């Protein structure tokens, strides 16, 4: 009797859950597709590549004397490189005024770009400009009465919202897939993209050929540009990433208007705050961007930011991880002012920054000047010998001469590191010589977590160590 009752109850429960789930599913999206697909384009990019031919064995060149032994004439040994065409396929959409948006990697090094519409019209496209750091490109075609997409607001998206992708995976033109927003503000870096795009993560089925295509909300508005997948096989595995349309439109407008993209720049090196560092820095929990080093004369230096500071909010946006900061800073135009909330010595302060401009090339990072044997750690330190030419330009501090195996400092500090400061529960102790170092260490107790400020190979770092 009771068994039958519970079986019926289980069936009722499953049925009820099924009703709730079906209510959350989108209705027929065919209307959305009918209205939006005409503005989606298929992109064919062609580029010339050189193909050389040479004699080799298992990838290694064969010496001339061996070729002679096999009777291969000299005139056939060096065959000139031949030109061949490489074709890549992707997707895009018409933004406005015959301007088309797609991914940079779709048209990279292309000699000719052709776009095809769903009505089978084809146009040769001009590459107006590209932005490698966001993996975006703007094209333009000459044509009449071209359809355009409606642009939405990617900031309004919520995790769990339904989204629809239209593109050409594996050259299957104008394919439609749907899914939900899995996460927002993802940080992804590869050879093309710096850390300047807060990606949307979705479970929409995306495959090669979808790159550059639009991601729509259920209102038929573009909210993202499908850009990447995370895959071990090369195909879709449930993790797709799209560039938020707010970021993409800003990049496009700058390319169209100025021919380039400008981003704000702080001039810092940073790392994550773990639980040990949080305790050492006097923070209640690990969060924010820990500043390891500051570039001389740049925005952070001018604003008074110091190594050991933790940025927890910038331009009214919360900074949970260090990877969040470039997203926020990069979206602010150079020379604009922004406020930042900082944790320093266990207390929150506010600084005002006038942003510089992100360098367009890899320029040398010039650190700003500093503001001013230990058994518990398991290391030996010594004073910096200013008479030694190799140590003349070292900052004030002590140099690590030995780190004991299996000591608290083992794996965190290394011989040659220069210790410049120690921090505990937000309080800082400057280290100028062995005496000041030992005096600071004597103030701590066993199991205390301290933050060691150090310089290694010219870079400033901060490491947390628990004392014996």
Collapsed DSSP state (helix, strand, coil) of residue 138: strand
Buried b (16+ CB within 10 A) or exposed e, 84-96: eeeebbbbbbbbe
CA dihedral 84, 90, 91, 96 (to 10 degrees): -50
DSSP letter string, 58-76: TTEEPPHHHHHHTT--GGG
Whole-number Å distance between alpha carbons of 400 and 402: 6
Is 135 buried (19+), middle (13-18) or exposed (0-12) by CB count in 10 A? buried
Catalytic residue among 36, 91, 211, 407: 211
Q: Partners of 465 in the beta sheet?
A: 450
* Beta-sheet pairing, 136-140 with 99-103: antiparallel
Q: Taken in order 41, 228, 177, 172, is the CA torsion positive or negative?
A: positive
The answer for residues whose C-beta is within 8 angstroms of residue 91's C-beta and 6 or more apart is: 40, 41, 42, 43, 102, 106, 166, 167, 168, 209, 210, 211, 212, 213, 214, 226
* Beta-sheet pairing, 199-202 with 175-186: antiparallel
Instruction: Based on the residue annotation, tell me whether 211 is a catalytic residue of this protein.
Output: yes
Catalytic residue among 135, 293, 324, 417: 135
Q: Partners of 289 in the beta sheet?
A: 272, 311
Nearest to 270 by CA among 338, 337, 339, 342: 342
The total of other beta-carbon atoms located within 10 Å of residue 258's CB is: 10
Instruction: Based on the residue annotation, tell me whether 417 is a catalytic residue of this protein.
Output: no
Instruction: Based on the residue annotation, tell me whether 424 is a catalytic residue of this protein.
Output: no
Whole-number Å distance between alpha carbons of 13 and 10: 5
Catalytic residue among 105, 327, 424, 453: 105
Residue numbers annotated as active site: 105, 135, 211
């Amino acid at each position: 009797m009771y068994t039958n009752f519970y079986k019926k109850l289980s069936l009722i429960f499953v049925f009820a859950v099924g009703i709730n789930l079906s209510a959350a599913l989108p209705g027929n999206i065919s209307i959305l597709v009918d209205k939006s697909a005409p503005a989606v384009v298929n992109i064919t990019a062609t580029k010339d590549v050189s193909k050389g031919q040479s004699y080799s064995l298992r990838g290694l060149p064969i010496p001339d004397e061996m070729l002679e032994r096999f009777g291969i004439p000299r005139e056939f040994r060096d065959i000139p490189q031949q030109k061949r065409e490489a074709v890549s396929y992707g997707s895009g959409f018409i933004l406005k005024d015959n301007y088309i948006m797609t991914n940079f990697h779709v048209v990279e090094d292309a000699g000719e770009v052709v776009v095809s519409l769903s009505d089978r019209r084809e146009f040769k496209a001009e590459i107006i400009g590209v932005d490698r750091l966001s993996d975006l490109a703007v094209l333009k075609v000459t044509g009449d009465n071209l359809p355009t997409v409606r642009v939405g607001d990617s900031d309004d998206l919520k995790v769990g919202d339904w989204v629809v992708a239209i593109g050409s995976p594996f050259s299957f033109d104008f394919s439609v897939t749907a899914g939900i927003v899995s996460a927002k503000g993802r940080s992804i870096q590869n050879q093309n993209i710096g850390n300047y795009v807060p990606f949307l993560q979705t479970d929409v089925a995306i495959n090669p050929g979808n790159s550059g295509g639009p991601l729509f909300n259920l209102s038929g508005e573009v909210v993202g540009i499908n850009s990447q997948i995370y895959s071990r096989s090369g195909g879709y595995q449930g993790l797709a990433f799209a560039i938020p349309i707010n970021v993409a439109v800003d990049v496009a407008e700058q390319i169209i208007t100025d021919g380039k993209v400008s981003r704000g720049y702080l001039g810092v090196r940073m790392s994550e705050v773990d639980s040990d560092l949080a305790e050492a820095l006097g923070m209640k929990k690990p969060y924010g961007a820990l500043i390891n080093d500051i570039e001389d004369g740049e925005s952070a230096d001018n604003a008074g930011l110091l190594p050991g500071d933790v940025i927890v909010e910038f331009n009214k946006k919360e900074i949970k991880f260090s990877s969040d900061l470039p997203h926020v800073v990069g979206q602010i135009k150079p020379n604009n002012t922004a406020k930042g909330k900082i944790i320093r010595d266990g207390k929150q302060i506010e600084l005002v920054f006038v942003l510089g401009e992100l360098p367009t090339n890899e320029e040398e990072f010039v650190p700003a000047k500093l503001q001013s044997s230990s058994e518990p750690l398991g290391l030996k330190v010594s004073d910096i010998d200013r008479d030694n030419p190799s140590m003349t330009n070292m900052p004030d501090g002590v140099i690590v001469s030995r780190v004991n195996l299996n000591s608290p400092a083992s794996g965190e500090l290394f011989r040659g590191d220069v210790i410049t400061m120690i921090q505990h529960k937000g309080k800082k102790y400057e280290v100028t010589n062995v005496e000041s170092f030992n005096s600071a260490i004597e103030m701590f107790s066993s199991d205390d977590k301290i933050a060691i400020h150090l310089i290694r190979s010219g870079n400033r770092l901060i490491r947390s160590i628990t004392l014996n």
